[in-house]
């Protein structure tokens, strides 16, 4: 169940299932029953208000209310809109409800009942307003069970459209949507249950979804585990560009690359900084590069196959020149932090030289500097990353608590294992280093990006509270041991 379906793809899954002989009312009955079971598994019967909207999400609500009432729950049902205006499957479900139908209104939520939010599903077309918004805002502070998504949350982007409640539980159907994992949706959905309502997995063959939940099942078989007959050069020689002032960033990256398995890691730095880098890990090779020509000479060695530029490098012409030199040398490149910001005045100078062996790892601010016209594009984080990857021909890893990775061919993954502890200085430098180490070993760039993000999150979780960036590389061996053994 790694696939994430867009709203349009979920509509198609429903349509394909019905075309295959499963009537719409049967799917709706199954959806309502799934929500009812999830509710009964978590709460004892007590006063409940089922809020129904004017579409199929509201139809699910009618089923839920009927089944809860039959199970002995005290239930009130409220409808946003007119019962006579319901159409299709929703009208069928409403016809099976024999109790009263009240008008949806905030006052119904007085007395703190359990709230079943069946107002709007994932495909909401415009921001909530009027009575719909008032009812949604009245859910604040109450225990809410959302049907599909909390009302007001868009299923593709995870963004709030006007208002959305905080759910304790969200029950969705067949597959999750990106909005269940992208912020703020990941927070607002609470616990997410994916219910089987009779949609066959075979519909995925026709849909061919390109968005997946990031995890080992996607790339484990291609992970570059060391071979018994290999040697250090077979495991790649990674180069990290080290800056003169913020030396900790490059050192964190280099250690991440080592722990990820790169056979050799060289830090290339200004002559005056050599003692600082040399005093770090004895596993690192430290080489001075006095200028651009010296850096080009370093890259002339064909065994140095992957280069990380950016962490602590400094913003300016030197970093820009080093990045262009690495690209011109045909190296696999990871571009992060200062290497991206150095092109803020002329993004085309960088973007026009990238290829599928390159990985960009911006946070939102850096993304806006090199893709200024995409930063405000509607549709959410994943859509922006996809548009950026398609434009520049490189893999884009857009960082955050809901990191996404997008390939130029349209593939995308959403990461969901990052703990809050990762919000600490230097953690992004380690992430870039892990990706570098995997790419140096020959791992496909898109796979390497997904694996690096997941390993990064798992290492942070394994260490726990009190995490600082230096802890991440040393937590990796335990994570890798479990990964190699097949455990997650």
Residue 142 to residue 249: CA distance in whole angstroms: 44
117 a known binding residue? Answer: yes
pLDDT of residue 280: 85
123 a known binding residue? Answer: yes
Could you report the per-residue pLDDT of 418-475, keeping only the tens digit for each?
Answer: 999 999 999 999 999 999 999 999 999 999 999 999 999 999 999 999 999 999 999 9
175 a known binding residue? Answer: no
Pick from 28, 468, 437: nearest CA to 255: 437
| 406 strand-pairing partners | 396, 412
124 a known binding residue? Answer: yes
Cis peptide before 184 (omega within 30 of 0): yes
59 a known binding residue? Answer: yes
Burial of residue 376, with CB atoms counted within 10 A of its CB: 0-12 exposed, 13-18 middle, 19 or more buried: exposed
121 a known binding residue? Answer: yes
429 a known binding residue? Answer: yes
127 a known binding residue? Answer: yes
399 a known binding residue? Answer: yes
User: Does residue 257 register a pLDDT over 90?
Assistant: yes
pLDDT of residue 378: 78
402 a known binding residue? Answer: yes
60 a known binding residue? Answer: yes
Could you report the per-residue pLDDT of 179-205, keeping only the tens digit for each?
Answer: 999 999 999 999 999 999 999 999 999
pLDDT of residue 159: 96
400 a known binding residue? Answer: yes
Pick from 292, 441, 447: nearest CA to 359: 447
With bands split at pLDDT 50, 70 and 90, how would you rate the model's confidence at 1?
Answer: low
Q: CB of 268 within 8 A of CB of 240? A: yes
312 a known binding residue? Answer: yes
77 a known binding residue? Answer: no
401 a known binding residue? Answer: yes
């Amino acid at each position: 169940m790694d696939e994430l379906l867009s709203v349009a793809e979920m509509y198609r899954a429903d349509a394909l299932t019905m075309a295959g002989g499963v009537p719409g009312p049967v799917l709706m009955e199954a959806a309502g029953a799934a929500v009812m079971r999830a509710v009964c598994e978590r709460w004892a019967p007590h006063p409940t208000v089922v809020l129904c909207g004017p579409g199929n999400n509201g139809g699910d609500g009618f089923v839920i209310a009927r089944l809860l009432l039959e199970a002995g729950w005290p239930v009130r049902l409220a409808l946003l809109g007119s019962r006579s205006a319901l159409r299709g499957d929703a009208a069928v479900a409403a016809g099976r409800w024999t109790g009263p139908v009240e008008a949806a209104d905030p006052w119904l939520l007085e007395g703190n009942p359990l709230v079943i939010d069946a107002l709007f599903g994932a495909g909401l077309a415009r921001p909530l307003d009027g009575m719909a918004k008032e009812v949604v805002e009245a859910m604040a502070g109450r225990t809410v069970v959302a049907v599909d998504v909390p009302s007001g949350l868009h299923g593709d982007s995870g963004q709030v459209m006007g208002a959305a409640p905080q759910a304790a539980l969200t029950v969705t159907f067949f597959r999750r949507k990106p909005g269940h994992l992208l912020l703020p949706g990941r927070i607002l959905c609470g616990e997410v249950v994916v219910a089987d309502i009779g949609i066959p997995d075979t519909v995925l063959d026709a849909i061919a979804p390109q968005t997946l939940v990031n995890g080992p099942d996607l790339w484990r078989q291609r992970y570059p585990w060391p071979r018994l007959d290999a040697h250090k050069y077979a495991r790649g020689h990674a180069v990290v560009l080290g800056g003169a002032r913020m030396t900790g960033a490059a050192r964190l990256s280099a250690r991440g690359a080592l722990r990820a398995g790169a056979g050799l890691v060289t830090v290339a730095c200004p002559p005056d900084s050599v003692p600082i880098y040399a005093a770090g890990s004895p596993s690192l090779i430290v080489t001075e590069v006095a200028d651009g020509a010296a850096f080009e000479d370093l890259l002339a060695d064909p065994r140095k196959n992957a280069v990380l530029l950016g962490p602590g490098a400094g913003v300016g012409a030197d970093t820009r020149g080093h990045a262009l030199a690495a690209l011109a040398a045909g190296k696999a490149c990871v571009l992060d932090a200062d290497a991206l910001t150095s092109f803020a005045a002329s993004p085309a100078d960088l973007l026009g030289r990238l290829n599928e062996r390159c990985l960009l790892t911006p946070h939102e601010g850096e993304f806006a500097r090199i893709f200024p016209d995409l930063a405000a594009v509607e549709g959410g984080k994943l859509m922006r990353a996809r548009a950026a990857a398609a434009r520049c021909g490189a893999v884009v890893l857009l960082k955050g608590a809901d990191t996404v990775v997008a390939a130029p061919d349209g593939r995308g993954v959403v990461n969901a294992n990052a703990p809050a502890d990762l919000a600490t200085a230097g953690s992004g430098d380690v992430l870039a280093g892990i990706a570098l180490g995997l790419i140096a070993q020959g791992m496909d760039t898109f796979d390497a990006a997904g694996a690096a993000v997941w390993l990064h999150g798992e290492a942070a979780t394994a260490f726990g509270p009190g995490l600082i960036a230096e802890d991440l590389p040393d937590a990796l061996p335990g994570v890798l041991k479990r990964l190699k053994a097949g455990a997650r």
